[in-house]
Structure 1
């Protein structure tokens, strides 16, 4: 199966998600949060750094739960940050 290359917008969305998860993690360690979410620390590292810009829904849901975020809150934060980036570019 050949994967279609991601668009710049999809890459930016993945980077934005990674930044938000990293901010929500705060001073908690990556292995601690990853273990709580049931994912590897490497998976969390890739998401936080934008190297995995399209993580699986259930991975994002598990990380949000481990960080005490609702999916609605995470989506809202992503949308607000995207809007702020659009306004800054204008």
Structure 2
């Protein structure tokens, strides 16, 4: 399977998601949150740093649950931040899943 390069909007959404999760984690350690969510600490570290810009939905859902975040609120904040950072028309066309 060949992975397509990320669009600027996807990269920015990944950065925004990472920042949101870091803020929500607060004083809790990466280890504690990751174990509670059933993901590896390295995965959470990569998501928070933006190195994994498009984590799997179950991973985001598990982290949201542990951090008491609404998936709707995550989507709204991450989408809003990405729209501000990447001007319309500069992003590649939407890709469809096949």
Alignment TM-score, normalising by the size of structure 2: 0.80
Within-5 A mapping of 1:10-89: 10-82=10-82, 85=85
- Kindly state the Cα deviation for residue 55 of structure 1 after the two structures are TM-superposed: 0.2
Alignment TM-score, normalising by the size of structure 1: 0.87
Larger helix proportion of the pair = 1
**Change in 2 beyond 3 A, CA 1:15/1:68:** same
Q: How many residues align?
A: 87
Stretches of structure 2 lacking an aligned partner (at least 5 in a row): 87-98
Divergent runs of 4+, >2 A = 79-86
Stretches of structure 1 lacking an aligned partner (at least 5 in a row): none
